[in-house]
Structures are given as structure tokens and as C-alpha cells.
Amino acid sequence: MKVNKISTEQAILRFLKKESHSYLSGQALSKAFGISRTAIWKHMNAIKEMGYSIEASPAKGYRLNLQNLPFNAIEIATNLNTSFIAKNLSFYNKIESTNDTAKEFAANDAKEGFTVVADYQKKGKGRLGRRWESPAGVNIYTSIILRPNIMPVFAPQLTLVAAVAVAETVAKFLNPPTSPFSKGGLKDFPPLTEGGMGGFLSVKWPNDILINSKKVAGILTEMDSEADRINFVILGIGINVNVTKKMLPPELKSIATSLKEETGKEVSRTDLLQTLYLNIETWYKKYLKEGFELIREAWNVYFKMAGKVVRIQQLGKTVEGIAIGIDTDGALLLQDKGGSIIKIISGEIELYTAT
Ligand code: BT5
């Protein structure tokens, strides 16, 4: 039987994880895997090069340090509870943009759920050619290929589906489990925080997740379609996890935040991604099965600008009004000065503060 290097290493890693309470001798490993002690030693070196910390002692043998596991495809795949999202995963230490790479995979027939993750993006993208700041070693940059059987005109709803899933994920890592919002009326909805640890979590139409009005995550949905069918959608998500204010460029210091900035604690990117993928899968399936209404309700729970006067910057024009929430199709609803309801399908929303 031909065993390739990666699968032997993965098998050794699995064994080391299971037995991490004690040292394993080179001899025991050599026997367990039916390979020489020199081969074990070589695999150990390769495992270390993958970023794992292995304590090695000539007298006792090898032991894996579970405290400091690297961020990589193997760890993300371990204990991932999804059925199709990220089951096929391509991991990069460095990439231009996960959305661009996912697009290439999709154009080459990658299946729904195929996912790209990177530790660092050289050219992380926002909407309309804007830049997404993507430093190495601290955040999440991921893109998922979806092939929904819906009309292209409904594709913007997927951004809102993702926003609910991202907000729910961020909430889990912010919230003490005893949040007042997790009890009572909002049973089907994720808990929210109002002040206190982690601050105030909200969504901003159409694609931002905010904590205390600062951006913690952004979503970039790109589509390839024909007149009446979607070929694929790339759902790109960036979440600021452990980046600190100090690491951010000056123009973002007052408008961006991260989970670490808000909680003072380092968050495991692997745990967060596994939760994110599961939440995306759950909400996406709900959306396809039950329609947009459930998403609309969940999204509106997180929308904290309702009732406030907002200003929408659109290409070449500004619209003002009282924010109401999202409509049955995902458009933003505003009430203008005259009392009429206006539907906004694109633009930047900001709170209006009289100067
Ligand atoms: C977004 O655009 O918010 C979409 C961001 C999507 C990023 C992900 S990362 C994985 C995938 N691959 C990609 O190449 N992109 C996606 P937009 O609404 O246009 O917001 C962009 C604006 O957010 C910028 O102009 C900055 O003001 C701000 N910004 C940039 N980097 C940020 C960061 N790391 N954290 C918070 N705000 C940021």
C-alpha cells in the first residue's frame, strides 16, 4: 500500500493528539506505524515545520503541545461539523485575495461548499475596489463557493444570510453564555450583547458587522451568472479576530475593531472558523428551504439603526431618512421627510449627525 507523506503525518499527528498526556517513544511510534525510527524522526521534523510544537526528549520520546496548535487546513478540518461547507478546503499562508482564488476554483467546476482560507492577503478586497486590510497571523479571510438555485436578482440576499451567520458567530465569542438575550423571546435567534463585556453587536446594511459601531467584519459577495441562473456566488468574509489597534493603519484605528480589542482575550481562529462554517451552512440551508423571511427577521434583530435618521451615500447622490429595516427582498427601507417609504438597493449607510 502506498502511503503518501501527508497522510502518514496526519496519522502521526492524530496519534500524538490522542496520547498528548504522555511521551511516546520513537520505538513505540515506529512499531505503531510500521516504519523505521529514522522515518519517524523525519516525519516529526516535517510536523514541526508545519508549525506544531513537539517536545522531544531522547530518554522519553515525543509529545505534542496542544496549547499552541497552528492555523492550518488539518486543524480546521478536525472536528468540523458541517456537511458541505469547507469540507473541501484550500489553505494558503499567503494569497492575493481568497475571493479571486475561489473564483478560479469555481470557474474550474469546484463544487458548492468548496472553501478557500488564507492567513494573509496581499490584496484583500472590499466592495467597489476598496481595500480590505489583511495582516498575517491574526484574522480570518475566507471565501466559500455557493451554487444556489435561485434567480440572480435574489443574490444580494446571500450577503444578508452571511451577515446573520457572521453576527451569530461573533456573538458567541463575545457573549458570556448567560446573556439576558439568550433567554426568553428570542429563542431562535442568537444572543446579543448590550454594553458590558464585548459591547454592542450590530449589523450595518448591507455587509458590515459592528461592535460598538466599529467594524469587526465585512462581507464581499461576488456572482457569476447568466440572465436567469446563477453559475456561482463567492461569499468572501473577513473577520478581525486578534488584530490589535496598533497593527491597523491610521485611517482604520477609529473605525475598526477586533474580538481581541473588545474582549481583551486571544480567540482561536480555528474554533471561530469552525463555528462560522457551521452557522453559514445552517442559515444558508434555512434560506434555501424556507425563504428570506426568516433571515429578514434575524437580520432586523441585529439592525440597531432602525428608527434613527440615516444618510445613504449613493454614486453621485445622498438620500436621508429614518431607517426602518430590510424589506422582503433585502433592500433597505427608509422613510423620507414627507413620510414616503423609499427602497434602497445600493449605497453606504451612515448615521446622520447634524453638524
Ligand atoms: C467589505 O467591503 O467590508 C468587504 C470585506 C470583505 C473582505 C473579505 S476577506 C476574505 C475575502 N477576500 C477578499 O479579498 N475579500 C473578502 P467594504 O464595505 O467596501 O468596506 C471596505 C472598507 O472597510 C475600507 O474602505 C476600510 O474603510 C474598511 N476596512 C478595510 N479593512 C478593514 C479591516 N480589516 N477591518 C475593518 N475595516 C476595514
Q: Quick one: average pLDDT of 212-239?
A: 96
Residues with CB under 6 A from ligand 1: 97-99, 121, 124-128, 130-133, 141-143, 207-208, 215, 218-220, 236-238, 240, 252, 256
Residue ranges covered by each domain of the chain:
2-64, 73-302, 309-351
Distance of CA 235 from the midpoint of ligand 1 (Å): 13
- Say if residues 282 and 169 touch (Cβ distance below 8 Å): no
Is 22 exposed, middle or buried, given 0-12, 13-18 or 19+ CB atoms closer than 10 A?
Answer: exposed
Nearest CA owner, ligand 1 atom 16: 236
User: What's the gap in Å between 236 CA and the centre of ligand 1?
Assistant: 10
Per-residue cell: 104:
478560479
pLDDT band, residue 233 (cuts 50/70/90): very high
pLDDT at 311 (0 to 100)? 92
Tracing cell 458570556 back to the chain, one arrives at 176
Confidence at residue 347, expressed as pLDDT on a 0 to 100 scale:
86
- Ligand 1 mean position, distance from CA 186 (Å): 30
Residue nearest to atom 10 of ligand 1 (CA): 141
pLDDT in tens, 13-54: 999 999 998 999 999 999 999 999 999 999 999 999 999 999
Q: Are 88 and 113 in contact (CB under 8 A)?
A: yes
What is the atom index within ligand 1 of the atom nearest the CA of 130? Answer: 25
Kindly report, residue by residue over 80-126, the tens digit of the pLDDT.
999 999 999 999 999 999 999 999 999 999 999 999 999 999 999 99
- One fold for 2-64 and 309-351: no
Asked whether the predicted pLDDT for residue 271 surpasses 90, the reply is yes
Would you state the cell numbers that stand for residue 348, as one nine-digit string?
Answer: 453606504
Q: Determine the atom of ligand 1 nearest the C-alpha atom of 127.
A: 19
Closest Cα partner for 295 from 205, 181, 162? 162
The arithmetic mean of pLDDT across residues 323-336, rounded, is 94
Instruction: Note whether 99 and 90 are within 8 A (CB).
Output: no
Cα–Cα distance for residue pair 146/101, rounded to 1 Å = 14
Fold of 73-302: BirA Bifunctional Protein; domain 2 (3.30.930)
pLDDT band at 177 (very low <50, low <70, confident <90, very high): low
CATH code, 309-351? 2.30.30.100
pLDDT of residue 185: 36
By alpha-carbon position, which residue is closest to atom 21 of ligand 1? 126
> Which CATH architecture does the domain made up of 2-64 adopt?
Orthogonal Bundle (1.10)
Mean pLDDT score across all residues of the chain = 90
Q: CB neighbours of 162 closer than 8 A, spacing ≥ 6?
A: 219, 221, 235, 237, 280, 283
Ligand 1 centroid to Cα of residue 237, in Å, is: 9
pTM over 0.95: no
Q: What span, in angstroms and rounded, lies between the C-alpha atoms of 175 and 66? A: 25
In angstroms, what is the span from residue 295 Cα to ligand 1's centroid?
23
Predicted confidence at residue 350, as pLDDT, reads 85
